[in-house]
Amino acid sequence: MTDGITLVVATKNTGKLIEIESLLKNYPVNLKNLSDFGPIPPVAEDGDTFDDNAYQKSAFTARVLGLPALADDSGLVVPTLGGLPGVHSARYGGDGLTDAQRCELLLQNLKGKADRRAYFSCVISIATPTGAALTYEARCEGLVAEAAVGTNGFGYDPIFYYPPLKKTFAEMTLQEKSRVSHRGNAMQELQHEFAKVLLWLQQQMPVPEKLSCQGGVVC
């Protein structure tokens, strides 16, 4: 926490929010999230790439709130399924499914396939109200497990097996996952140049006009 620059973490996904807030907690920025503000209109998230969608979310939120905003667009890419769920990860199988049902659907769709390679992709976009933005991206390679294992995390974590640690993401602590995950790695890129990013944000933000006061009258 600081009196310095405010950064709004623009996500409605609690799992993502917990990870991002934990990764930024020791950094000199006044972190806010969407629940610190009144309802804001939904963002059109209709890009074909993680990059497009991350920028749509960060730029829209920054413009609406008049504050710098950080958004994450991410998903699980399974090459043998033609890249699905990919950018559609949050809605794979339809809007009404739970995370557990989406995992089950993916397991069903991979039944009998020998190639279970998969990777998580993450793009972090930090935008200012003027629309200028910075982008960080990373991947994490692994396999789709044969069955869901573990209860931590969110989304596809129970079925994403990470061979170097011989665990699914849902069997890892928050810290373990963040050390190796797509989001953790993208955030590390940002953290490496955090001082420069803060300076950049300060330069991008409009300076409020100073009002002078004469005899108690603001003019």
Q: Which residues bind ligand ITT (CB under 6 A)?
A: 11-13, 16, 57, 72-76, 89-90, 120, 153-157, 169, 181, 183
Angstrom distance (rounded) from CA 149 to CA 151: 7
CB of 157 to ligand ITT, least distance (A): 4
CB-nearer residue toward ligand ITT: 144 or 201: 144
51: annotated active-site residue: no
Distance of alpha carbon 89 from alpha carbon 72, whole angstroms: 13
* Nearest distance from C-beta of residue 211 to ligand ITT, angstroms: 37
Residue with Cβ nearer ligand ITT (122 or 134): 122
Provide CB contacts within 8 A for 109, sequence distance 6+.
81, 84
- Torsion sign over Cα 86, 89, 61, 125: negative
- Among 52, 73, 95, 157, the active-site one is 73
Closest approach of ligand ITT to the CB of residue 140, in Å: 8
Task: Tell me whether residue 68 or residue 75 sits nearer to ligand ITT (CB atom).
Answer: 75
> How far apart are alpha carbons 50 and 87 in whole angstroms?
6
**Given phi > 0 = left and psi -120 to 50 = alpha, else beta, which region is 21?**
alpha
Closer of 12 and 196 to ligand ITT (Cβ)? 12
Strands (E), 10-146: 30-33, 69-77, 117-127, 133-144
CB of 91 to ligand ITT, least distance (A): 8
Beta bridge partners of 76: 120
Q: Select the residue whose beta carbon is closest to ligand ITT and give its number.
A: 155
The residues carrying an active-site annotation are 73
